[in-house]
Structure 1
Amino acid sequence: MLRGWATQQRSRFLAEATVTQRLRLTRRLAEFSGLYPWQWTPAEGEAFIAHLRGGDRPLALSTARAYEVDLRMFCEYLLDARYGWASLCVDRFGMAPQQVFHQDNSVIHVEDYEGDPSRRPLTYDELQALFDAADGRAEQIRARGVKGALSALRDAAMLKLTYAFGLRRREVAMLDLVDVRSNPKAPQFGRCGMVMVRYGKASRGGPPRRRTVLLVPEMDWMVPVVKHWLHEVRPALGPGKHPALWVTERRGRVSTRLVNEAFVAAKKAAGLDPALDPHCLRHSYVTHLVEFDYPVKFVQDQVGHKFASTTAIYTGVSNEYRNQLLQRALQDRLGRMWEA
């Protein structure tokens, strides 16, 4: 059954990691219940989810829904007459598989966003503190005369570029030198005019989505950062002909884990909320573009969101910005009366 389901998913070009995770989850339910899939009832599924909700690390709402959807799809595969598993189970075991999760015992989707509330945009002061801390780590390492100053400089530049172009962790890790390009419409930015993202988040069963992210004037401070990295720091790491934009001291491409570690180190040094993760930089980028008065469609294209509603989820404008909008609206409506 599992081999057949895995083959069905691979024929849809789903990522191998997705297939593996679903098979592992199905085995977990079998081990928890002590039963074979044709013996499962909704009670087994409900007990499994209830068990995962307990303990020191209870299951998040969004994760519980994902588990229920995956197990529901496995049961749908078994019940599909085109594969013959139901009739085979009746012939051999005298019972047929049944759907474990249905409308009445599944998590209801009532909100557009159910993610971790700690994934919030950073304030401008928090961003400055983060980047200052990242720069300071390089200076501290250099002062101690130990190895790692070049890597710290790389991490600082990498975090700044992640924010300045609103990238995901994998997107920034997979950048090559050729992906950082000039924008003919903005020659003042030099080679830092735009970034070609070739490993964007893929739709289910599809290839990575590509997009071009333009550098906006408010982020022009990124130009000297990129120049310093390309002309001074990166060559000192001796990458040779390696195509990656971000390389390690061992002359390899950085990993998404390294991006995480760079953020965590800077976050701790800056004394920021421990719950924050690198995705906060992307949330910050979206929010700040909105506060800079860029159209929502432009922001949506910059970050590669398929739907504007997704971009809205990322947005958390400040009270100051909302007050400015209020003042502008009052001034437009009341004119001189408001100014007086």
Structure 2
Amino acid sequence: MWETYKKGYKAWLRLEKSLADNSVQAYLQDIEKLTQYLSHAGNLAAPDKLQPEDLEQFIRWVAELGMTQRSQARILSGLRSFYKYCVEEQIVREDPTILLEAPKLSRLLPDTLSYEEIELIIAAIDLSKPEGERNKAILETLYSCGLRVSELVGLQISCLFLDSGFIRVLGKGSKERLVPIGENAIRQIEIYRNTIRNHQQIKPGKEDILFLNRRGAQLTRVMIFLIIKALAQKAGISKQISPHTFRHSFATHLVENGADLRAVQEMLGHESITTTEIYTHLDREFLRKTLYSFHPGFRK
């Protein structure tokens, strides 16, 4: 019974909401958790038979599993999306999630790297190996453009406008945006293409993908994570680092240096300015240094 609802919901997310495969999968996993709970509780009722109390108990069950408040809020968002689909498809008359309360979230400052730390990570790349030039181009592009890792691995050669200093990025919900790209990244992409990529045997269908593995296929998100983790370790940086750290650093460095928040929102591809506003909560050390540098009352 629930498999039919899940299939319909999956089609709705893809066709009506135009969500990327990763987002679709995340929403489906939320509903999978719900059906797991209902099965465990012996109440695998249809969506129109579930009451707000049933869903409240599900959220409580998720909390008892030890999930963070942020994870709980995301699952609740998935539930609301599912019931929006159910209302539109007339599977239910009323949305039982309307009165459900989301856990209160604190705004977490994203982990960032200093420019010097990014330079150390890039310097740790072994350029004597064929993948070295590619990895340097990857890191330069991540930091120069603030890309999501899914945007990076899907970046196409036909979307590079390097003479104009821009790339076209396919972001969440298949939304396109133009992002400026810096000279270092442009130079390294051209080195990678001319010395490494042009000599590879490329798998059919991947001819337009920029970054390839040694077999001529598209890199995975996990591979990017492993590359960055290994380089950070080699550079002696102990922070918890992921590809997203480069995106956070890109945005934080822009805001710290006075960039307009709307421009940063556009470059990051954030739908809402409130998502970008997290970067205005700069770390205390940066604020302290700014005060000592520019406020007369703090100068020695």
TM-score by length of 1: 0.70
Is the aligned partner of 1:314 residue 2:279? Answer: yes
The CA distance in 2 between the partners of 1:314 and 1:20, in whole Å, is 30
Match of 1:156 in 2: 136
Cα deviation for residue 77 of structure 1 reads: 7.0
The CA distance in 1 between the partners of 2:235 and 2:143, in whole Å, is 16
The CA distance in 2 between the partners of 1:19 and 1:289, in whole Å, is 32
Do 2:70 and 2:105's aligned partners in 1 also have CA atoms closer than 8 Å? no
The CA distance in 2 between the partners of 1:251 and 1:82, in whole Å, is 43
Match of 2:166 in 1: 194
Q: 1:274 to 1:299 in 2, by over 3 A?
A: closer
Paired amino acid for 1:68: L
Match of 1:145 in 2: none
Match of 2:242 in 1: 277
3-state secondary structure, aligned to 1:211: strand
Q: After superposition, where does 1:24-103 map in structure 2 within 5 Å?
A: 24-37=32-45, 45-54=55-64, 58-71=66-79, 83=90, 99=96, 103=99
Between 161-170 and 316-325, the greater mean CA deviation after superposition: 316-325
Q: 1:274 to 1:328 in 2, by over 3 A?
A: closer
Match of 1:92 in 2: none
User: Which protein has the larger Cα radius of gyration, Structure 1 or Structure 2?
Assistant: 1
Cα deviation for residue 163 of structure 1 reads: 0.8
Cα deviation for residue 307 of structure 1 reads: 2.8
The CA distance in 1 between the partners of 2:162 and 2:64, in whole Å, is 52
Cα deviation for residue 212 of structure 1 reads: 0.8
Match of 1:303 in 2: 268
Do 2:6 and 2:28's aligned partners in 1 also have CA atoms closer than 8 Å? no
**Identity across the alignment (%):** 20
Q: 1:13 to 1:322 in 2, by over 3 A?
A: same
3-state secondary structure, aligned to 2:196: helix
Match of 2:120 in 1: 129
Between 43-52 and 258-267, the greater mean CA deviation after superposition: 43-52
CA RMSD of aligned residues (A): 3.6
Q: After superposition, where does 1:256-267 map in structure 2 within 5 Å?
A: 256-267=221-232
The CA distance in 2 between the partners of 1:286 and 1:124, in whole Å, is 12
Post-superposition CA distance 1:115-158 (Å, at most 9, x none): xx5x312112321222122x1xx25xx5xxxxxx2224322320
Is the aligned partner of 1:222 residue 2:185? Answer: yes
Match of 2:200 in 1: 237
The CA distance in 1 between the partners of 2:34 and 2:225, in whole Å, is 30
Cα deviation for residue 177 of structure 1 reads: 1.4
| Corresponding residue pairs, total | 287
Structure 2 residues without counterparts, runs of 5 or longer: none
Cα deviation for residue 301 of structure 1 reads: 1.8
Paired amino acid for 2:259: Y
Between 164-173 and 267-276, the greater mean CA deviation after superposition: 267-276
The CA distance in 2 between the partners of 1:154 and 1:66, in whole Å, is 35
The CA distance in 2 between the partners of 1:233 and 1:43, in whole Å, is 59
Paired amino acid for 1:132: A
The CA distance in 1 between the partners of 2:158 and 2:10, in whole Å, is 34
1:253 to 204, 214, 218: 218
Q: 1:71 to 1:298 in 2, by over 3 A?
A: closer
Do 1:287 and 1:316's aligned partners in 2 also have CA atoms closer than 8 Å? no
Cα deviation for residue 283 of structure 1 reads: 0.8
The CA distance in 2 between the partners of 1:84 and 1:213, in whole Å, is 42
1:21 to 14, 19, 29: 29
Is the aligned partner of 1:120 residue 2:111? Answer: yes
Paired amino acid for 2:234: A
Paired amino acid for 2:11: R
Match of 1:10 in 2: 11
Cα deviation for residue 20 of structure 1 reads: 3.0
The CA distance in 2 between the partners of 1:175 and 1:76, in whole Å, is 32
Do 2:9 and 2:82's aligned partners in 1 also have CA atoms closer than 8 Å? no
Paired amino acid for 1:53: A
